[in-house]
Chain A
């Protein structure tokens, strides 16, 4: 059974069609990349899935339960986790407290400290645990975002452009992390870096002008002529 299922999911902003009639299925345990040119509706689609943006039409099911009208916090409690595209940590709070805030929602009280330290160690920020988050470099703030997602032990981890602004070494570390999580956690990844997509994704979905253009394995997507025309061959290709 699919962990996540959307049917006819649409979002219009006034006259602008951001997402139109998207049917999307995500199997338990897979790593799925969501790609598409800028403005294709990727962030709007995951915004609707995570509950940040109410859909204009359509339904969302998570783990067999319809959640279309659920508020975001209830979806997180049900096992989704969402990391922001634009870094959105708490700059005035210590790194530890940033992750603890995420942990306290999903981890039993006695295990919070341990879970926080483990999540930070996993993204390589173990030594910066007592720094203020605002003092971290941009790349480290991105990693902190990911740690805040990880610590919630989500069933579905949604990552919105996680490698944006990361240094090369950090990207390699990120890829290793995703491979490490694969299987245990279902991951939905919006990503511009095609090298990352090709290396870590089991399957790839391509959005274009708010509609699902193609879905398949990385090889199939790479070979798909429509996708090449819309995206890979366009001026937008990041690879």
Chain B
């Protein structure tokens, strides 16, 4: 099918462009883009639950932090090398998202938002409570010497960029593959009309739990990579604002579009970056941009593109 070729071509093309940019960008933007790709991976995970399944979580920082601390504590206190530490972080995210899913999915709508928010807050307080190990708010640095993965020093900028790209490409292609499969199409149908899906013979509860675990695990992978690539784990990554961040990225970029999380992260990152060069009230500028986008492109950047011109975008 030419439709499938076009879709895969577009997404693989983006990955190729990001690969090429590695050799072209000046150091400052090179570093930014590495960070954006990891944050975009976080948003890709968020988008599976919010954009595709229609469940608005306010607690995804819990998963990000589970990945970050699973990895970081594994290195810091478990003496692990980066590879098993990453596995530990991602595994921690899977377990935490399964547990939260089993509890929070008993609710829906506003109650679901509040339950996820509260559990994430409990997770944040847990990080502070065990300050002896986590160093609380202050956090801890993961030394360069501890960040050598299979002989590759991840504190070196181009290695770091490449690792971020590998993570982002994996998350992006996984989400694209998932959404085109019957499982993903069922998630979209649940978003559109859950009761109807149930009456077509689907166990919607199991599907939502699956979406929660996939979403949480991807977010945890982003958290684990973030800590490893940038050498730091801190409690602020588990706090409420960090749960709102992927929501903003996804809303800006386009909820329920594969490329939306990346576009949103890119846009938001540079919006804050550029406006903070002009004024200290940079969040005000970000806020105005959000209001304008909500007014004139409520479906986000990619959602608007899909609506106006590219109906085939997944």
The interface stretch among A7-15, A17-25, A86-94, A173-181 is A86-94
Residue B277 lies at the interface, judged by CB distance under 8 Å to chain A: no
Residue A225 lies at the interface, judged by CB distance under 8 Å to chain B: no
The 19 sampled A-B contact pairs (Cβ below 8 Å) are A52-B199, A71-B203, A72-B198, A73-B203, A73-B204, A76-B200, A82-B199, A84-B196, A88-B196, A91-B192, A92-B192, A93-B192, A101-B185, A101-B200, A102-B200, A102-B201, A104-B182, A104-B186, A152-B201
Whether B195 pairs with A73 at a CB distance below 8 angstroms is no
- Contact partner, B199, options A76, A93, A100, Cβ 8 Å: A76
Contacts of B195 in A (CB 8 A): 52, 88
Name the interface size band of chain A. Answer: 20 to 34
- Contact partner, A148, options B185, B186, B192, B200, Cβ 8 Å: B200
Closest to B182 in A: A104
Contacts of A50 in B (CB 8 A): 199
Residue A106 lies at the interface, judged by CB distance under 8 Å to chain B: yes
| Contacts A73-B201, A76-B201, A84-B196 known; 5 new A-B pairs at CB < 8 A | A52-B199, A71-B203, A89-B193, A90-B192, A101-B200
Whether B202 pairs with A105 at a CB distance below 8 angstroms is yes
Give bound CA distance, A111 to B24, whole Å: 49
Within the complex, the shortest CB–CB distance from B300 to chain A, in Å, comes to: 16
Whether B193 pairs with A88 at a CB distance below 8 angstroms is yes
Give bound CA distance, A227 to B195, whole Å: 34
Residue A28 lies at the interface, judged by CB distance under 8 Å to chain B: no
Which B residues between 190 and 217 are near A, CB-CB below 8 angstroms? 192-193, 195-204
- Per-residue CB contact flags for chain B residues 48-64 toward chain A (1 = under 8 Å, else 0) read 00000000000000000
Within the complex, the shortest CB–CB distance from B302 to chain A, in Å, comes to: 16
Residue B268 lies at the interface, judged by CB distance under 8 Å to chain A: no
Residue pairs across A and B with CB atoms within 8 Å: the count is 51
Residue B85 lies at the interface, judged by CB distance under 8 Å to chain A: no
Contacts of A104 in B (CB 8 A): 182, 186
- Contact partner, B189, options A71, A72, A90, A152, Cβ 8 Å: A90
Within the complex, the shortest CB–CB distance from B232 to chain A, in Å, comes to: 42
Within the complex, the shortest CB–CB distance from A153 to chain B, in Å, comes to: 12
Residue in A52, A91, A100, A102 with the greatest tally of chain B CB atoms within 10 Å? A102
Residue A97 lies at the interface, judged by CB distance under 8 Å to chain B: yes
Whether B192 pairs with A72 at a CB distance below 8 angstroms is no
Whether B196 pairs with A77 at a CB distance below 8 angstroms is no
Give bound CA distance, A148 to B201, whole Å: 12
Whether A101 pairs with B193 at a CB distance below 8 angstroms is no
Closest to B199 in A: A82
Closest to A132 in B: B311
Residue B188 lies at the interface, judged by CB distance under 8 Å to chain A: yes
Within the complex, the shortest CB–CB distance from B311 to chain A, in Å, comes to: 10
Within the complex, the shortest CB–CB distance from A169 to chain B, in Å, comes to: 27
Give bound CA distance, A77 to B201, whole Å: 6
Give bound CA distance, A61 to B186, whole Å: 29
Within the complex, the shortest CB–CB distance from B10 to chain A, in Å, comes to: 20
Give bound CA distance, A106 to B195, whole Å: 18
Contacts of A93 in B (CB 8 A): 188-189, 192
Contacts of A105 in B (CB 8 A): 200-202
Contacts of B200 in A (CB 8 A): 76, 101-102, 105, 148, 152
Contacts of A102 in B (CB 8 A): 200-201
Give bound CA distance, A89 to B185, whole Å: 15
